[in-house]
Structure formats: C-alpha cells, structure tokens
Structure 1
Amino acid sequence: MTVTVPPDHLIDLAEWEALPEDTSARCELVEGVLVVSPRPAFRHQELVFELCRQLRTQLPDGLTALPEIELVVDSVGPATVRVPDVAVLPTDLVADRARARRGDLVAVLEVVSPGSGRTDRVAKLAEYAEVGIPYYVIVDPDGSVAEFVLDDGTYRLVAEHRGTASLTLGPTISI
C-alpha cells in the first residue's frame, strides 16, 4: 500500500483492505490509526529470514513459518491489524487466506527493532494474548530471547535465553 496522504479519520477493516500495497514502508493498523514505519534494516531482515528457515526445518508436518503476514486482532470498531515478523500457522491456511484471524496462529516471533521495543513487549504482548496465540517469542538482536506461553488468557514468561534457544512451541524447537 502506498500512502501519500494519511487518512483524516479512523479507518475500518474494509478501508485497510482497499489501501494499495506499499513495499517501501511497514504498515499496521492500530485501533483505526494507520501506523507507518520504515522497512526493517538488513540485520533485522536477516534474523527474520533465519528464524523462518530454522523453524521450517523443525516444525512438525502441517505447520509452517512465514514472515510478515497480516493478523486481524480486532475487526470491529476501530480495527487493529498487526504484521508480526514471523508467524507459525497451519500449512492448510496458506493457500486460501489473505490474512490470519483469531485462532489461526500457533506462535508469533517478533524481532525487536529501534522504535519497536515497547510495542513488542507491551502492546503486542496484550494483543496476541487477546487473540489466543499460544506462544509468543521476542527476539532481541543483542542475542536475548524471551519465550512466553499463553496461560489463562495472559502470557507467562517461561524462559529467557541468550544465544541459541530451545523453544517449547509444542515440540522443542531450537533457534
């Protein structure tokens, strides 16, 4: 989507879907507000690629890892659409979906970028719990990894790692 003039109102999901694609920036919709940030730096992109590669070699049949899919967090009222760095989802959803919805994702991994730390650690932590994603992992380029599991509607920190991490996304996955 290319946004030359920002909307002058809160946009809904239909308006979000009608926006033209823009590969020059990263766009999310947060409570009806279009949030535009620069494309991630090369190091960030390298980490996302590597996470997807490693996850795909270790995930059980029927699951895959994809970068930057759209996730509808809230479609009613002021809509929220997030774009996680890496999403783990059933492979049968890949062919017939434009975006993920509540109950579709098994895990989400976010790579912290300058300017995204608070969003990744606070806002997305709450939003991903709200849509029931069982596992949430925050990867910091400094080498630290925080692993959360959904427990009675909220995330509980289950492990913090440095360097290589063995995650418990169902079966144990090493990244």
Structure 2
Amino acid sequence: MTALPEPVPQPLEVDHLLTVAEYAALGETEHGYTELQEGRLLRPPSPRPAHNIASFHLAKQLAGQLPDHLVVVQDIDIDLELAGPEEPGFSRRPELIVAELAGVRRAEESGQLICAKDVLLVIEIVSPSSRRTDTVIKHGEYADAGIPHYWIVDLSAPMSLTACHLAPGFGYQNAPEVSGRTTLPEPFPLEIDLGQLSR
C-alpha cells in the first residue's frame, strides 16, 4: 500500500514492539494492519481505485515478460530482514513485487513472509499522501534490505515511472523519469506502456 501510513493504537493487547514473526502471526485482522516499521503496526488508508487498476494492468504487463524462475505478486507482505529475529522488525506491503518463484513457494509452504533476499523488484504507486513515504522512507528501507530494483510509479499527469537500481555502498541510484511506452533494460529487458495503466 502506498497511502501515508498512520501509527495506530494497538488494541490487540500488543504491549511491545513486534518482531516480524509476531507480525506474521497476527494474520489478516479486522483492524487492517498492513505494515510494520521498527516493530510498530501501521494502518495505511485504503488505496483509491486508480491505484488498484494501475497495479492490475502493470502486473499483467510484467507477467507476460518474466523469465520462468520469476513471478509477479500483488499486495503481499515482505520481510525486509532489517532486524534480527528477536528484534523489532520491518515488513512492507508494496503494490507489486517480482520475486524468485522458489522463494515465494518456500514462504507459502512455511507460512512465513516472503524474504527481501528473494525479491528482485519492488513497485510502489504514489498517491499525494504517500509521496514522501515512497520516495524517501521506503526508498531507503528497500535499499537497506538489498532489493536490487525499485520502481516508483506516479499516476499524476503525465503518468511516470522512476526506476531505481541498487549501487553497492550508495543505496539506490534513480534513473531519469520516463513516461508513455518505454523499454527498460533492467532487471531484464521489459517494455512497459504507462498509458495503459489507467484503462
């Protein structure tokens, strides 16, 4: 989710900062907690319909171009692996990830979250209230987690995509913003038509 997350009271009788395992054990709750930042539960507002439509169409475009060992997954928790197993943890739920199929299957079979080490690309769709979260906070967290590629999709006109790639020791390096139909060389050759995301 990319709407601005809000810290929330912890009515689930949580009286301490959560580890990723404790967060995962909560499962889906009626309170709508969807992310964990330094052990604190976050509850982002529900995304606007345009977010969900864009995410669906972008997932379709990606799915048709992925190598067999990769899979695109929408709206899924990932363990950023930024803390030890007994420490307050970090988990984000981006709009889309491209991950190793073996890692996704491993997470499914174990009941654990998908690990950052199995994620090749993470994608967030910006809303007006999430711009700083997506371009600064998550930009830093995903880089610290070692995820090789991060795309920031901005739906405001003209719709655009900023592709970031990990430069060891420097964090993410942002490529120039692109719009319309574009070919991206990384993480493998991909053709994306941003104009089709609002159909």
2:38 is aligned to 31
What TM-score do you get using the length of structure 1 for normalisation? 0.89
The structure showing larger relative contact order (alpha-carbon pairs under 8 Å, at least 6 residues apart) is: 2
Q: 1:85 aligns with which of 88, 95, 112?
A: 95
Per the alignment, residue 125 of structure 2 pairs with 111
Q: Give the Cα–Cα distance (whole angstroms) in 2 for the partners of residues 66 and 23 of structure 1.
A: 23
Determine helix, strand or coil for the equivalent of 1:69: coil
Q: Mind listing any 5+ residue stretches in structure 1 that lack a counterpart?
A: none
- Root-mean-square deviation (CA), in Å? 2.0
Which residue of structure 2 lines up, in the alignment, with residue 129 of structure 1? 143
Range with greater deviation from structure 2 (10-19 or 43-52):
10-19
Q: Which consecutive residues of structure 2, in runs of 5 or more, have no partner in the other structure? A: 1-8, 193-199
Task: Name the structure with the higher helix share.
Answer: 2
Distance 2:180 2:104 in 1: 31
Q: Which residue of 2 aligns with 1:5?
A: 11
Distance 1:24 1:149 in 2: 35
Answer with 70-79 or 80-89: which moved more.
70-79
Percent identical residues = 35
> Per-residue deviation at 1:155?
0.5
8 Å Cα contact 1:26/1:38 also seen in 2? no
Q: Is the 8 A contact 1:110 1:138 kept in 2?
A: yes
- Within 5 Å, which residues of 2 pair with 1:44-123? 44-73=51-80, 74-76=82-84, 77-97=87-107, 98-123=112-137
Which runs of at least 4 in structure 1 moved beyond 6 Å after TM superposition?
A: none
Any conservation in 2 of the 1:88–1:105 contact (CA below 8 Å)?
yes
For residues 129 and 16 of structure 2, the distance between their equivalents in structure 1, rounded to whole angstroms, comes to 24
- Structure holding more strand per residue: 1
Contact 1:146 1:161 in 2 (8 A): yes
Structure 1: which amino acid aligns with 2:172?
Answer: Y
Per-residue CA deviation, residues 116-146 of structure 1 (Å, 9 max, x unaligned), is 1111101111111111111110001120111
In 1, Cα distance between equivalents of 2:27 and 2:88: 20
Residues 123 and 150 in structure 2, CA contact (< 8 A), matched pair in contact too: yes
Shift in CA distance, 117/26, structure 1 to aligned 2, threshold 3 Å: farther
1:18 maps onto 2:34 in alignment: no
Aligned residue pairs total: 173
Q: TM-score under structure 2 normalisation?
A: 0.79
Q: Single out whichever of 18-27 and 107-116 deviates more from structure 2.
A: 18-27
State the shift of 1:26 in Å.
5.4
